[in-house]
Amino acid sequence: MRYENVCVEAFAYTLPAEILTTTEIEARLEPLYRRLRLPEGRLEMLTGIRERRLFPEGMLPGEQSVRTVERLLQTAKCDRNRIGTLIHGSVCSDYAEPATACSVHHRLGLPPECEIYDVSNACLGIVNGMLQIANRIELGQIRAGIVVGTETSRSLLESTIRRLNTDQSLDRRSIKPAFASLTIGSGSGAVLLTHRSISRTGNRLLGGVVGASTTHCELCMSATDPLGRDSAGTSMQTDSEELMIQGVNAASGTFERFLAETGWNRDQINRVFSHQVGRKHHQLLFESLRLPGDINFSTLEYLGNTGSCALPTAAAIGMENGFAGPGDRIALLGIGSGINVLMLALEWNHTLAAAPSPEDRETIDRIMRLNTARRETAAPSLTFPAARLE
């Protein structure tokens, strides 16, 4: 899976205005914490997540996706009439049908020749969309394409808190499958890919690999109405520990094929943008891949797990703030429940950056300080011993 003519022109993101801290979630879980005598600070200690953001109640994902694509087009100064494919790649959608991409296409005024559809694959939908657009560009079918997605977590958080507080049969053991739901945040991300002949950046997509470990497809399962239109709300059951172990195992095998496909050595990878799950997951993943943790750009501490939007949002924030630069070799590591793995290799040249909104500046500054501190305190060794996994 190699490309000669595909460029990743730009990333874009939108952060919701409302901030919900982990401390506030634990305060709302006071009945559960009191009944089971759980220690305060447990959730942040386990996940490393301090806060996450929420879109307004009742907002359709497609509404926000339109705003994110508009920002993407402005950043890239791209003529929307050149867009040959539009994919909506998040778990959350406006309706069962039509595709959310339809309303996004209509509101953006994209050309009628533009192919439009939705892709849903847990946390990999947007990265899968990148791959599909890249294939069409390489085949000469289109010159440019956009994949966008918006995840809304309010319903899942609200229904999880409500159930944990009201179900008196729950004990310390049985609450564990619900705790991953409390890490989820809202966000919106988009990516523009173009043929290299019309690219302003020359940011080459070199290729990638995919992997599947579907024996473990039941480790994270969700019954979802993301807007809360069903009175039961959204529910998700996750075996977090086993999902982490099996996900890292799947990533480890896929990563070896990724190195073989790209011809890269580990020490030639300058920067990594990966799916954002939790602090322990990141540590175990990078130990298993034998990569230094300081080359990874982390946003989970302040944005939580934003599903399919996590990787493109991290890439957008990191690129705009100088985390990656000309000549960097960048690995995009997507790992999602199922278990699916998709890894892409970029050769970076130039970043088209958009200034963040004043409302987002404080959060982005904190994200940058955290990542800078991580690099400054990292051990000088470029490799770690492989993690021992069952």
123 is catalytic: yes
Q: Quick check: 81 pLDDT over 90?
A: yes
Would you say domain 6-198 falls under CATH 3.40.47.10?
A: yes
Pick the CATH number of 204-377 from 3.60.20.10, 3.40.47.10, 1.10.645.10, 2.40.50.140: 3.40.47.10
Q: Return the pLDDT at 217.
A: 87
Tell me, rounded to whole angstroms, the distance of Cα 38 from its chain centroid.
Answer: 30
Q: If 0-12 CB within 10 Å is exposed, 13-18 middle and 19+ buried, where does residue 41 land?
A: exposed
pLDDT at 117: 98
Q: 78, 210 in Cβ contact below 8 A?
A: no
Mean pLDDT (the chain, rounded): 91
Spans of all domains in the chain: 6-198, 204-377
User: Which pLDDT tens digit goes with each residue over 27-44?
Assistant: 999 999 999 999 999 899
**Per-residue pLDDT at 241:** 84
Percent of the chain topping pLDDT 70: 94
Q: Strands 83-88, 144-151: parallel, antiparallel or unpaired by DSSP?
A: parallel
pTM above 0.75, yes or no: yes
DSSP label at residue 267: G
Angle made by CA atoms 14, 20, 21, in degrees to the nearest 5: 120
6-29 b/e (C-beta count within 10 Å ≥ 16 → b): bbbbbbbbbbbeebbebeebbebb
Q: Which of 97, 113, 376, 390 is catalytic?
A: 97
Determine the Cα–Cα distance for residues 376 and 373; give it in Å rounded to an integer: 5
Task: State the pLDDT at residue 381.
Answer: 40
The residue annotated as part of the active site, out of 92, 114, 123, 220, is: 123
- Spatial distance between the Cα atoms of 100 and 148, rounded to a whole number of angstroms: 10
Residue 31, CA atoms < 13 Å, CB-side half-sphere: 10
pLDDT digits (tens, 9 = 90+) for 196-229: 999 999 999 999 999 999 998 888 888 755 555 5
Would the CATH topology of 6-198 be identical to that of 204-377?
Answer: yes
Over 60: is that where the pLDDT of 231 sits? no
Closest-CA residue to 192 (of 113, 120, 307, 85): 85
